[in-house]
Structure 1
C-alpha cells in the first residue's frame, strides 16, 4: 500500500491545498493530511478547528485521513508506516525551501521520498498568509478557501463584534 503524508499548518486550508489533496488522493492508496502542531505559536484557527475544517473539506475523498502531530515528521511517518511526503510547489521560492526540507528528511530517514506537485496556475498566488491578510482587512476570501472555511471565518468575524 502506498501511503503518503501531506503536512503543513493549513491555517487556513486554501483551495490550492485542496487541489494538491485531490490530485494526491488519486496518486496514492491513502493520503494522510497532517496539521503540524506548533506549541510555540498561536494560530489563526486552533489546531482542533483546522483538523475539523480539513475533515469537512476532504469528506469527498474516501482515501484521505486528517490528523495532527507535533515533533519530527519522520517520526510521525514511521508511526504511520508512510514512506512518501507530498508537497505542493507554487514557485521557485517554494521549491528552494522544500528541497532543503526534503534533503533533511532524507538525512534523518533515507527510506522516505518527497514528491512535489506543481500548483495549478490559477492557485499559484493563493497562500494561507495571504488569505489571513485579506480577511484581516475586510476583503472577501470567497474563491480562495473551501466553503466551510469561508463560513468559519465569517462566524469568527461575527463573534469578534
Structure 2
C-alpha cells in the first residue's frame, strides 16, 4: 500500500521523523509531500525543506520526497494514491484533522485518512515551537535532527541557504 504523509515541514522535527519512520515500517511506499504554499510565510524555501528531508531520510528505500501546490486532494488524484496519514498530537489536532478528512472525502471519494498518534515524546512538538526557540537562541538539539539544527541556526543568524 502506498500512502501520502503531507506537511509543511518548516522545519522537519523529530516528531515528523517518528511518524515517517513508523509509516515506512507499515506501508510499501510513503510519499512525503511538502506543501509549497506561496502565500504562507515560511522560514525555509520548499527546495530547502526538500533537501533537509532528503538528508534526514537517507537509508530508506520506500520513501519518496515530493512537493505540491494547491489542494492535497488534487495531488493525491494525480499520484493515484488513496490513503493519507496524518499525525495527531492532541485533541485540538483531531478536531481540525477530522474536518479536513471529511472535506477531502467529499472532494475525492476514494481517499481514506489514517490518523497516527504521536509518540508521547513528541506530543508537544511543532515546527512553530522549534522556530521560536531557535530565534531566541534556545537549544533545539533534542527536537530536530542535527542537520536541521545546524541549518536552522545558520538561517536565523545569517540568512544562509542550504548547500
Corresponding residue for residue 19 of structure 2:
20
Partners of 1:71 and 1:27 in 2: how far apart? 28
Q: Given that residues 32 and 67 in structure 1 are in contact (C-alpha distance below 8 angstroms), is that contact kept between their aligned partners in structure 2?
A: yes
Partners of 1:49 and 1:143 in 2: how far apart? 21
Corresponding residue for residue 86 of structure 2:
87
Partners of 1:139 and 1:99 in 2: how far apart? 34
Structure 1: which 5+ runs fail to align?
none
Corresponding residue for residue 153 of structure 2:
154
TM-score (norm 1): 0.95
Corresponding residue for residue 32 of structure 2:
33
Structure 2: which 5+ runs fail to align?
none
Partners of 1:143 and 1:89 in 2: how far apart? 20
TM-score (norm 2): 0.94
Q: Are 1:48 and 2:47 counterparts? A: yes
Q: Given that residues 135 and 156 in structure 2 are in contact (C-alpha distance below 8 angstroms), is that contact kept between their aligned partners in structure 1?
A: no
- Going from structure 1 to structure 2, the CA distance change for 1:40 and 1:157 (only over 3 Å counts) comes to closer
Q: Are 1:108 and 2:110 counterparts? A: no
Structure 1 position 42, deviation (Å):
2.4
Q: Deviations over 1:35-74 (max 9, x none)?
A: 1011112211111100100111111221011111001111
Q: Deviations over 1:93-122 (max 9, x none)?
A: 001110000000000001010011100001
Q: Given that residues 33 and 66 in structure 1 are in contact (C-alpha distance below 8 angstroms), is that contact kept between their aligned partners in structure 2?
A: yes
